[in-house]
Amino acid sequence: MIDELKKLVTQYLPNADLALLEKAYNYASSAHYCQIRATGEPYFNHCCNVAKILTELKLDIPTLCAALLHDILEDTLVVSQELKQEFGEEITSLVEGVTKINSYKFNDKLTAQAENWRKMLFAIVKDARVIIIKLADRLHNMRTLKSLSPDKQKKIALETLTLYTPFAHRLGIYNWKNELEDLTFEILEPDKYNEIKTKWKARSGRNIEYLNYLEKEITKKLTSANIPFRLSSRPKNLYGIYRKMQRQQKPFSAIQDLFGMRIITDTQEHCYQILSIVQTDFKIVENSFTDYIILPKANLYQSLHITVASESDVVVEIQIRTEEMHKKAEYGIAAHWRYKDQFNKTTDNSKDIDLEKHLEFIKHILETKDSEEFLSDLKTECNFEQIYVSTPKGKIIRLPDGATALDFAYAVHTDIGNKCMGVKVNGKMVPLNYKLISGQTCEALVRKNIKPSEHWLSFVVTYQAKYRIRKFLKETKKQLRS
């Protein structure tokens, strides 16, 4: 196992301190000596697998060492002091961070979960690597969950789905998020999982046929246009399909895009060139184009999305993006964090700005005092669905699904939100709690003597609006007291 790990690391860190990695390996291996997991294998295999999962994100040696050592304080006789002597401050504090998170036991009560999660977020702000190790740990535990009792499986799966998958999403680690979702789906809703899986298999033949055709044609066209690209296709995750069925109240047969295709190229210009080739040469599903390059998602995801259809209406969603956007999409903030650290001294500010935006967001969340509020904020921010409305001047504003007229006002500007008396939607006045839908033209009207009220908090959904309203109320209270 250590040889495999070394090989994986040297692929992206040619000058890595392999001796330190091997030291951690040997140390952890002997500390966990004779311990057996529920699966029947040596306990230490779990630690190695967690480290191996983390090499997918190309993480540094201290993180990998901490991964090998991540259960050592909890499950062996080794104490922090010894660890510090052997491996120094950095690795020890990472291991301590992970151990701390483990000590918060899952509680069915929402508030208790949120509380733990706030503490976890504190850990992130100090060091994002702690949460990433924890997510890899959870991923490996979920992969090997079958050996536990059904009750335990359910409990862990529920915890994973409520707390960890939104977080993987929020950090933009979509690979892990999708796998975690399907693993939990299988345990929590085995009947639905199996039903969708069976139907999926039955229908995938026709889809694969069309997919092969698409791959061949697109390859031909892009090669002759001299555009560098790589192309990959994969099935959509089953939980995603299930959620879509629920959301749109549709049976499986009505869900069309079972597969997604990805075209990755070098520059943004090429993304748009590829898009126009796809638009000219294939049948496009109406209104299926979304430009997340100009309007990135809240977690900074960027791509062009467009759905094509065969003559017999088999559809495939195509995502077009650059290598850079791809890295961000697959590994999110983790990838950024790594760049920042590795190339600290070179000046690549654009990446740092993205990271700063993330951390800024997390810090804002931390200022929220109430735990339930906090969890619901986190959930809204993780909300996948988005709508688009425009201002009278044609500026596009992106909002989460369910956003109200007042959310729109706050999205335009804090002052407009704070003084908003009403919003005109397609020329008609609507109440502040009116739920917007995509395509509407909105204009917020302000009046000097309007002030945010407690009541507003009961219907706004965006984090931005909540944060601004609470901030205003807090400051007013302070002024009254003084």
From 37-45, 121-129, 130-138, 189-197, span contacting Mn ion (CB under 5 A): 130-138
Q: State which residue, 145 or 405, has the beta carbon closest to Mn ion.
A: 145
Q: How far is the CB of 90 from Mn ion (least distance, A)?
A: 20
Q: How far is CA 419 from the centre of its chain?
A: 34
Out of 75, 86, 127, 401, pick the active-site residue: 75
Q: State which residue, 69 or 365, has the beta carbon closest to Mn ion.
A: 69
Question: In the range 416-445, which residues lie near Mn ion by CB under 5 A?
Answer: none
From 22-30, 33-41, 67-75, 292-300, span contacting Mn ion (CB under 5 A): 67-75
Both structure tokens of 419: 């003084």
Confirm whether 159 is a catalytic residue: no
String of b and e for 256-270 (b: at least 16 CB within 10 Å)?
bbbbbbbbbbeebeb
Out of 74, 313, 370, 475, pick the active-site residue: 74
Q: Give the residue nearest to Mn ion (CB).
A: 137
CA dist 85 → 78, 79, 93, 210, 214 (Å): 12, 10, 12, 59, 58
Residue of 445, 400, 448, 399 whose CA lies nearest to 425: 445
Q: How far apart are CA 333 and CA 321, in angstroms?
A: 17
What does DSSP say about strands 290-291 and 304-309: parallel, antiparallel, or unpaired?
antiparallel
Going edge to edge, which strands form the sheet with 428-430?
428-430, 420-425, 442-446
Applying CB under 5 A, the site for Mn ion has a residue count of 2
Q: State which residue, 137 or 181, has the beta carbon closest to Mn ion.
A: 137
Q: State which residue, 134 or 419, has the beta carbon closest to Mn ion.
A: 134
From 27-35, 106-114, 129-137, 265-273, span contacting Mn ion (CB under 5 A): 129-137
DSSP 253-299: GG----EEEEEEES-HHHHHHHHHHHHHHSEEPTT--EETTTS--TT
Question: In the range 70-109, which residues lie near Mn ion by CB under 5 A?
Answer: 71
Q: How far apart are CA 404 and CA 11, in angstroms?
A: 49
Q: How far is the CB of 182 from Mn ion (least distance, A)?
A: 21
Q: How far is CA 447 from the centre of its chain?
A: 39
Confirm whether 74 is a catalytic residue: yes
Q: How far is the CB of 141 from Mn ion (least distance, A)?
A: 7
Q: Is 137 in the site for Mn ion (CB under 5 A)?
A: yes
Q: How far is the CB of 288 from Mn ion (least distance, A)?
A: 42
Q: How far is the CB of 134 from Mn ion (least distance, A)?
A: 9
User: Are 259 and 284 contacting, i.e. CB atoms less than 8 angstroms apart?
Assistant: no
Q: Mind telling me the catalytic residues?
A: 74-75
Binding site for Mn ion (CB under 5 A): 71, 137
